[in-house]
């Protein structure tokens, strides 16, 4: 097993372009996930309301509805390296600026909205770049490593966010995030120019609206015509992201009201076991599950997540919660990785950016209503009842969308 892991990483990191993109992904996603947790904690500390945390998540998702497909169009029209570098540098500037702003409900919402808007143009360009810089022979390995990194950095960011916030304080934590994104920009700068487009940067604003909408409609038409190979993976990825967002909304209240632990300690006491589960599941899938049926992996993930969330509603000690969250960490990649791999394998180079823009929009739209009402329901009925509701609704949604249960 150890030799397989070494060979896997040596093969992928031997590709200089992929190594640069992967390094930027690691640093930037850790920074962004730290910021997600820190912003949720700061909102709860300022407002003492789960509803306010849900509102923060709502405004974080709102920009994706109108702008994500547009970001996908530009990812197909322009140099993707330019988009990656510009958006990463601008996010660093936003973090530096916010470190000098007083934190209130309104300022946290405005900042989260602006950060999400800029970040939208990063996602489609990043996802569409991988098949361009990696040969078809190693595309599965590259997609697996991309997903491994994406989920690992989510848990890493959430785990270290609380301790960093406690050590650095409410202002300096955002300075650190700004420097991390500048470091990510350094790696992006080492990449070659990639993408279909050969148009100059000024074309980002000079392109006629008719051309943009024509390209957008072409992307939608492609998605509809290939719905058998693209629509189901999109729905499965959408559910996984929506479920994680809903759980994040109630995490601060669950830590304080149910487990009676410090809110900052929740990042490693609760997220930590989930992170270990993520890593164990991802390593196992990369080494042993490549030839397994994606449908079986997804069904296994659904069942494991449903049982885990169900048990979490009845056992409220810290130890039991840590064990159940470990198994929840095991379950999530079983759903997301097979779906993501199928999607990337089937996408045409010409439409990759647009399809990923539409995917980001669908994730945001699907998460808007659940995230918006999760905090309100937690305040109204209680954290435990909402965890049970999340478990039931998530299981029903995935089963019905894919006809898997």
Per-residue DSSP letters for 169-183? HHHHHHHHHHHHHHH
- Domain-located, residue 373: yes
378 in any annotated domain: yes
pLDDT tens across 15-41, in order? 788 888 889 989 999 999 999 889 988
CA-closest candidate to residue 237, choices 143, 326, 141, 366: 366
Domain-located, residue 117: yes
In a domain, 276, yes or no: yes
What is the C-alpha to C-alpha distance for residues 195 and 204, in angstroms, rounded to an integer? 14
**Residue 279 covered by a domain:** yes
Q: Residue 135 — φ and ψ, nearest 5°?
A: -65, 160
> Per-residue pLDDT tens for 56-69?
877 887 787 777 77
The C-alpha atoms of residue 167 and residue 269 are separated, in whole angstroms, by: 17
Q: Is the pLDDT of residue 179 over 90?
A: yes
Q: How many domains does the chain have?
A: 1
**Looking at the domain assignment, is residue 7 inside a domain?**
no
Tokens of 120: 């939208």
pLDDT tens-digit map of 223-276: 777 666 666 676 667 767 666 666 666 666 777 777 777 766 766 777 778 778
Alpha-carbon dihedral sign for residues 248, 308, 318, 160: negative
Residues whose CB falls within 8 Å of the CB of residue 53, separated by 6 or more in sequence, listed in order: 40, 43, 44, 47, 249, 252, 253, 375
The full 3-state SS of 234-260, as one line of letters, equals: HHHHHHHHHHHHHHHHHHHHHHHHHCC
Q: Return the pLDDT at 166.
A: 85
Whether the predicted model's global pTM rises above the 0.75 cut: no
Distance CA(95)–CA(333), nearest Å, equals: 30
How far apart CA 134 and CA 188 sit, in angstroms, is: 16
Q: Give the separation between CA 49 and CA 36, rounded to whole angstroms.
A: 17
Tokens of 30: 């850790």
Report d(CA 188, CA 26) in Å as an integer: 12
Determine which of 90-94, 197-201, 350-354 has the lowest per-residue pLDDT on average. Answer: 197-201
CA distance between the termini of the chain: 33
Tokens 């361009």 found at: 132
* Domain membership of residue 246 as a residue range: 16-402
User: Does 2 reside within a domain?
Assistant: no
Mean pLDDT of 362-385: 64
Residue 182: the pLDDT is: 94
pLDDT bucket at 95, cuts 50 / 70 / 90: very high
Tell me, yes or no, whether 91 lies in a domain: yes
**CATH number of residue 146's parent domain:** 1.20.1250.20
Average pLDDT, the chain: 76
Report residue 339's pLDDT band, with 50, 70 and 90 as the boundaries. confident
């Amino acid at each position: 097993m150890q030799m397989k892991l070494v060979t896997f990483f040596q093969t992928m990191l031997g590709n200089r372009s992929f190594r640069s993109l992967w390094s930027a992904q690691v640093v930037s996603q850790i920074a962004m996930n730290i910021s997600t947790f820190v912003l949720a904690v700061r909102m709860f500390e300022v407002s003492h309301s789960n509803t306010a945390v849900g509102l923060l998540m709502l405004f974080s998702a709102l920009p994706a509805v109108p702008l994500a497909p547009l970001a996908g169009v530009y990812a197909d029209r322009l140099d993707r390296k330019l988009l990656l570098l510009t958006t990463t540098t601008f996010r660093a500037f936003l973090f530096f600026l916010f470190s000098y702003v007083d934190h209130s409900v309104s300022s946290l919402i405005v900042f989260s909205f602006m950060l999400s808007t800029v970040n939208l143009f990063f996602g489609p360009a990043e996802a569409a770049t991988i098949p361009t810089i990696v040969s078809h022979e190693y595309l599965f390995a590259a997609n697996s490593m991309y997903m491994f990194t994406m989920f690992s950095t989510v848990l890493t960011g959430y785990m270290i966010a609380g301790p960093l916030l406690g050590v650095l304080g409410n202002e300096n934590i955002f300075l650190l995030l700004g420097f991390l994104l500048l470091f990510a920009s350094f790696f992006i700068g080492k990449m070659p120019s990639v993408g279909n487009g050969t148009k100059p940067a000024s074309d980002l604003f000079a392109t006629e609206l008719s051309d943009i909408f024509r390209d957008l409609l072409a992307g939608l038409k492609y998605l509809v015509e290939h719905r058998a190979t693209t629509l189901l993976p999109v729905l499965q990825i959408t559910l996984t992201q929506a479920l994680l967002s809903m759980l994040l909304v109630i995490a601060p209240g669950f830590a304080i009201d149910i487990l009676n632990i410090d809110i900052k300690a929740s990042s490693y006491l609760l997220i930590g076991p989930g992170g270990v589960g993520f890593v164990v599941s991802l390593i196992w899938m990369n080494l042993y599950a490549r030839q397994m049926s994606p449908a079986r992996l997804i069904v296994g993930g659904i069942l494991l997540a449903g049982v885990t969330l169900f048990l979490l509603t009845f056992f409220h000690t810290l130890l039991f919660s840590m064990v159940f969250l470990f198994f929840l960490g095991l379950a999530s990649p079983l759903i997301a990785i097979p779906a993501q791999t199928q999607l990337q394998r089937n996408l045409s180079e010409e439409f990759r950016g647009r399809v990923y823009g539409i995917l980001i929009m669908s994730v945001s739209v699907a998460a808007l209503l659940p995230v918006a009402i999760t905090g309100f329901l937690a305040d109204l009925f209680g954290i435990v009842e909402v965890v049970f509701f999340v478990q039931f609704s998530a299981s029903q949604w995935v089963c019905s969308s894919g006809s898997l249960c």
